[in-house]
Structure 1
Amino acid sequence: MNHFRILIILLFAATAGCSQYIKDTGETIKEAYSGLPDTHMTKDEVEALPYASIYARVNDGPRVFMVLAFAETNTDTGNTRLKWLSSDGAMIVTENGRVVKTLHLPNYNLLNVTTSESYYQPKTESDSWKISYDWQPGYHLQQEASVQSSVVGKELLTSLIWQKNTNKVVEIITPDKSSQSYQSTFWLDEQGQVVKSIQWPIPEHLMIELEILKPYIG
């Protein structure tokens, strides 16, 4: 019980600290829609911050900086879900690198996503499978789509504090109620971790680009 209490105290302290840090940068997801330029962090700034961090871009808007507020276990899959936060309360939740929920984004928000493969890991071999989305506004529930995934090659990526050899995985998403297809792309390092992605959490409506700056260690 004492360990649990200590963990709660640390989480509150971390959340307060990371939120204050983002406020100090003056960059938030909602503010990005008012025409701000891309955020540019330095290597020293990212390394000095004691939190995992990412760059995020929503629907081709300016790039913003977000930090990890919470990491918790999804009891259905056993995977760790990471909750990335901006100072105005916008949140992007990822599991195995896939966006599985968003909160307080300006226009559209993903409530839940389920796949026929319950672990959400982008596939490193060609395969086809099903995915289902719940999203707002409008309470769109169980909007299903077919996904065709394939590895299209290898690519060397360089970020602020790392350089990695990656496998590039492409997913072609075709909603059941549409003939239009959408492409998500994931870059996985040699340990299978997603270090960069351009993905459609809600086909047609919500595209999010993520780049890991300081990885979550666990």
Structure 2
Amino acid sequence: MNHFLPRSWMRLLVALPVLSLAVGCTQKFNDVSATVQEAYNNYVDVELTAEEIDAVPYASAYLKIGNQKQVFVVLAFAEHNPITGNTQLKWVSADKAMVVTENGHIVKTIGLQHNNLAGAHGDVPSFALENTEYSLSYDWAKQYRYGFPAHVKRVYQGKESVITPLSNSPADIYRETVHFSTLSQSVDNFYWVDANGKVIKTVQYLGPNMVPIELTILKGYSKS
């Protein structure tokens, strides 16, 4: 991916030309975007203080794509997935790109510069199951590639603390090897999971030959 001049660093995630949301949701999305835009001011490679993060009235995270600059994203929506019964978290950037996670797994992206994930479909087991295997199906927006089966093998890797301006959290590390049989290729994704079973950091590939996406939770989502 290309490097950008400092004054244009926020174009790491390009603006969405169209976003299909209801009127109320659109207002919420615009409010969130304005909040993130304000938080971005005066930062090139974002490093916010605990006070600055606390001042943002939404759950938030750091997002880093490949070797690009770290950016700040906030939670715009937390929505029920009727198919899996899980909650999908929709993280947005200052310029309205979106990364959607479910149980810590990236299941969709919108507005990234390259290789957007149109969807990762399947029932992901909780991290209470340390060593397990399951199946997913991947769709990629580029060249309209859909329905690629993937076999996922999860292995427990040990413990490590995740340090952010707000916390120092012990976490269990899991590696998931995602094998795409029709492509004869695999990727390794990593998850840091806290004592409550929530993913507080992850490094994931959206597919083979794609750059990794690192997401570190700063202020976590709470239903309350």
How would you bin the TM-score normalised by the shorter chain? 0.7 to 0.9
User: Per the alignment, in what secondary structure is the counterpart of residue 217 of structure 1?
Assistant: coil
Post-superposition offset of 1:58: 1.4
- One-letter code aligned to 1:21: T
Asked if the contact 1:122–1:186 (Cα under 8 Å) also holds between the matched residues in 2, the reply is: no
Q: Report whether the alignment pairs 1:94 with 2:101.
A: yes
Cα-to-partner distance string for 1:166-192 (whole Å, 9 max, x where unaligned): 110001122213444321000000110
TM-score (norm 2): 0.82
- One-letter code aligned to 2:70: R
Q: Report whether the alignment pairs 1:167 with 2:181.
A: no
Cα-to-partner distance string for 1:5-64 (whole Å, 9 max, x where unaligned): xxx89755543332112222447xxxxxxxx95211111000111100000111232111
Q: In the alignment, which residue of structure 1 is the partner of 2:64?
A: 57
Asked if the contact 2:185–2:208 (Cα under 8 Å) also holds between the matched residues in 1, the reply is: no
Residue 82 of structure 1 is aligned with which of 59, 79, 89? 89
Q: Report whether the alignment pairs 1:45 with 2:59.
A: no
User: Per the alignment, in what secondary structure is the counterpart of residue 77 of structure 2?
Assistant: strand
- One-letter code aligned to 1:166: A
Asked if the contact 2:40–2:46 (Cα under 8 Å) also holds between the matched residues in 1, the reply is: no
> Structure 1 26/50 Cα, relative in aligned 2: closer, same or farther at 3 Å?
closer
Cα-to-partner distance string for 1:43-92 (whole Å, 9 max, x where unaligned): 10001111000001112321110011111100111211111111212100
Q: In the alignment, which residue of structure 2 is the partner of 1:149?
A: 154
Q: Structure 2: any 5+ residue segments left out of the alignment?
A: 1-21
Q: Using the alignment, how far apart are the partners of 2:217 and 2:127 within structure 1?
A: 16
- One-letter code aligned to 1:58: I
- Please report the RMSD computed on the Cα atoms of aligned residues, expressed in angstroms: 2.2
Query: Which moves more between the two structures, 118-127 or 69-78?
Result: 118-127
Cα-to-partner distance string for 1:127-156 (whole Å, 9 max, x where unaligned): 222221001210110112222211011112
Q: Using the alignment, how far apart are the partners of 1:152 and 1:55 within structure 2?
A: 23
> Structure 1 74/48 Cα, relative in aligned 2: closer, same or farther at 3 Å?
same
Q: In the alignment, which residue of structure 2 is the partner of 1:126?
A: 131
The runs of 4+ residues in structure 1 deviating greater than 6 Å are: none
Residue 198 of structure 1 is aligned with which of 196, 203, 219? 203
Asked if the contact 1:55–1:64 (Cα under 8 Å) also holds between the matched residues in 2, the reply is: yes
User: Per the alignment, in what secondary structure is the counterpart of residue 150 of structure 1?
Assistant: strand
Asked if the contact 1:124–1:169 (Cα under 8 Å) also holds between the matched residues in 2, the reply is: no
